[in-house]
Chain A
Amino acid sequence: MTGTVNILYFAALREQLGREGQQVILSSNTMPVATLVQELRQHDAKLDEVFAATPRIRVAINQKLGGFDTCVQPGDELAFFPPMTGG
């Protein structure tokens, strides 16, 4: 079974990409975030450019901080953002 994941971008990433997010269809049932990012970058020159230029991108899966080795599944909410600067 394949399905979509909902991707969100925040802060500098959102601005540079010019979008708040996107829906993507997973090419397999489950895959690490790194694999998904690699596939997206291959098909999206803008995303490739922005991800290449942004050091230390963080990822959250279903609103929980994760790593690029965390696996995503259809229905997941994925978010990419720069290091956090609250307070």
Chain B
Amino acid sequence: MSVRVLVQQAAFDTGAETARLSSLSEQVGGMGLFIGQVRGGDGLLSLTLEHYPGMTETILHQLAQEAMQRFNLLGCTLIHRVGRLEVGAPIVLVGTAAAHRGAALSATSFLIDRLKTGAPFWKKEEFANGHTAWVDAREEDEHAAAAWMHTAPSSS
């Protein structure tokens, strides 16, 4: 299966994921990889990620299929963790495999940009002083997702 989508609490194995993409086909000439992790600062201890089970998986599959067609990918992987994750912990892995670097890199950006504001995940911050707060959606994230709606599909 060239599309792999997982929503899980457990950490992921980046090496195993890139190995899978690498061996999907002899036509694979390059892979794109993005890993998002919990950024520290201002006394942040952890993020807790909540999601909408069922809808999350559906949306991630739709995004993956859209990327496969739009960028002519040979495969892609979306893994998103949920639950409590401490500073430095990986949150999300986006991996793409294509014949050429342009498609692999563009598809990686497309997937993470669209995923951030289009898939039903929510982050709650926990600070060392005991304070907690839900993360507000950032306008620049919404602009980044919207920009893909206005760009012509890749011709490569």
Contact = CB atoms under 8 A, between A and B. Distances in A.
Interface of A: 8, 10-12, 15, 56, 60, 63-64, 79, 81-87
Among A63, A64, A83, A85, the one with the most B-chain Cβ atoms within 10 Å of its Cβ is A85
Interface of B: 36, 49-52, 54-55, 58, 80, 91-92, 112, 115-124, 134-138, 141-142
B134 A87 contact: no
Given A11-B122, A12-B122, A81-B120, A86 B52 contact: no
Contacts of A82: 122, 134, 137
Given A81-B122, A82-B122, A87 B115 contact: yes
A87 B55 contact: no
9 A-B pairs with least C-beta separation: A86-B121, A83-B137, A11-B122, A87-B116, A63-B55, A12-B134, A85-B135, A85-B123, A86-B119
A85 B52 contact: no
10 contacts: A11-B50, A15-B134, A60-B55, A60-B120, A82-B122, A83-B136, A84-B117, A85-B123, A86-B119, A86-B122
A87 B121 contact: yes
B52 A63 contact: yes
A86 B138 CA distance: 11
Contacts of B122: 10-12, 81-82, 84-86
Given A10-B122, A11-B122, A11-B134, A85 B54 contact: no
B36 A87 contact: yes
Contact of B116 (A8, A12, A86): A86
A8 B51 CA distance: 12
B124 A11 contact: yes
Contact of B118 (A56, A63, A84): A84
Contacts of B120: 10, 60, 79, 81, 84, 86
A86 B80 CA distance: 9
A34 to B, nearest CB: 21
Nearest to B56: A86
A77 B80 CA distance: 24
Contact of A86 (B58, B92, B124, B136): B92
A83 B117 contact: yes
B51 to A, nearest CB: 8
